[in-house]
Amino acid sequence: MFLIEGVSCPKGHFTDGNRLSCMVCGAQLGPHLTRYQAARPKLGDLVFDDGRELPLDGSYLIGAAPPSHLGTRTVSLADAGDNHLSIRLDGWTVCVHNLDTTSGTEISYAEGDEFHGLPPGAVVDLHPGMTLRLAGRATITYRGRDS
Ligand SMILES: [Zn+2]
């Protein structure tokens, strides 16, 4: 279990006290809410175009043949580069690290937006509605918290 500091929104969701609004319901957060430590909730899901959904409750290595690391789950994605992306949680933030150097990674910053190339080695914070496209084919969309 990973403990994290946060606040309760007016509806009782445990959320990031450094944001203006609750990550779940969008309720405004005042500056005077009590901060406390609790287990980090699932920060949403990764939704793949092949129908798979992975809970964002830990780190992942994604690719056609990702290496196994202690504490990091691997996700096999045949259409991607061998070790294409790492996705990890940093506090309340979902970070993607582009490990691909050959087959290409693109990102769309909002649903329906065009894709932009992501250079090798780039690190980007993911926000709900953003989509990654690997090797011009497979897509992964970040669906935000619903609880
Ligand atoms: Zn809320």
Q: What is the pLDDT of residues 63-81, one digit of tens each?
A: 999 998 777 899 999 989 9
CA of 105 to the centre of ligand 1 (A): 33
pTM for the complete prediction?
0.93
Asked if residues 130 and 111 have their Cβ atoms less than 8 Å apart, the reply is no
Give residue 31's pLDDT: 84
C-alpha 88/C-alpha 106 separation (Å) is 18
The count of C-alpha atoms lying within 13 angstroms of the C-alpha of 108, restricted to the half-sphere facing its C-beta, is: 16
C-alpha 116/C-alpha 136 separation (Å) is 11
CA of 10 to the centre of ligand 1 (A): 6
Give residue 82's pLDDT: 95
Domain with CATH 2.60.200.20 in the chain: 45-143
Q: Looking at residue 85, what DSSP letter applies?
A: E
Q: What is the pLDDT of residues 108-125, one digit of tens each?
A: 999 899 999 999 999 999
Asked if residues 142 and 127 have their Cβ atoms less than 8 Å apart, the reply is yes
In CATH terms, the fold of domain 45-143 is Tumour Suppressor Smad4 (2.60.200)
Q: What is the pLDDT of residues 6-46, one digit of tens each?
A: 999 999 999 999 999 999 999 999 888 999 999 999 999 99
CA of 15 to the centre of ligand 1 (A): 7
